[in-house]
Amino acid sequence: MTQVQILMYHRVGHFPGRVKAHGALYCHLPRFRAQMKMFRVMGYTVIGLDEAAAGLRGEQVLPARPLVLTFDDAYVDFLENAAPVLKAHGYPATVYAVSSLVGATSSWVAPEGLEPAPLMNAAQLREIQSLGFTVGSHTVSHPRLAQADDGRIRSELQDSKVALEDILGQPVKHFCYPYGSHDIRAVNAAAEAGYLTATTCVRAAATPADDLLTLPRKAVSRGDDVFGVAWKLLTKNTPKNPQLRR
């Protein structure tokens, strides 16, 4: 069966003394470098979401071990730390930006006891686009969509798409549900807004049986060395909970 592994990263850098409970927000830069080397050693081919979507729909043949890299929130440290490593390997990646906080900080983490970090501004988003990376939408304000009313869900998905397209000068085709929080209303709103794909936090491999607007991903945490990431790629391929269906 065709499987596409999709990994979820957030920040990449050096993070001494961070809160252990939020490990999925951080990837130590030396470990990130080692993971990028490991993918090639294990025979994975890193592809973009456009290619993954076409392969999952049966429109083109995928490589033997396709792998997609995604980065939530569009932190400045993606440009500073992750992008040079990815470019050195020739790897594509998708970065999801929160449209109303472009050039601001990740203020939504403050209630969790974390220090907000800088997010890329418009020029930096255009820069990573010029480097060959894809910018997707992560809503207007990073809410838990399953807890929002219908009107807000629609505006969070539609307005963020329009705002980011104004910044980037090209279509924004990919979306990510903040916190992985979504329900059938959010999935339908993603379809209505015209997104090609939307990613969740459901831990599994993506297959042709998945709706492109509820694609599963596997989170990489600060505690994951190359062996931990390899284990996640080779296992954890069946979701614990049934996926939403439109």
pTM of the model: 0.95
Residue 21, pLDDT score: 62
Q: Rounded distance, CA 73 to CA 96, Å?
A: 5
For residue 8, what are the β-bridge partners? 70, 219
| Per-residue pLDDT tens over the stretch 97-145 | 999 999 999 999 999 888 899 999 999 999 999 999 999 999 999 999 9
State the pLDDT at residue 242: 55
Q: Got the DSSP string for 76-137?
A: HHIIIIIHHHHHHHT---EEEE-GGGTTSB-GGGGGGT----BB--HHHHHHHHHTT-EEEE
Backbone dihedral region for residue 3 (phi beyond 0: left; psi -120 to 50: alpha; all else: beta): beta
For residues 144 and 103, is the Cβ–Cβ distance under 8 A? no
Domain boundaries, the chain: 5-234
Domain 5-234 has CATH 3.20.20.370: yes
Residues with pLDDT less than 70, the chain: 17-21, 239-246
Q: Name, in order, each residue with C-beta under 8 angstroms of 208's C-beta and a sequence gap of 6 or more.
A: 1, 2, 56, 57, 58
Encode pLDDT of 195-211 as tens digits. 999 999 999 999 999 99
Q: Taking the mean position of all CA atoms in its chain, how far away is CA 213?
A: 13
Which element (helix H / strand E) includes 195?
none
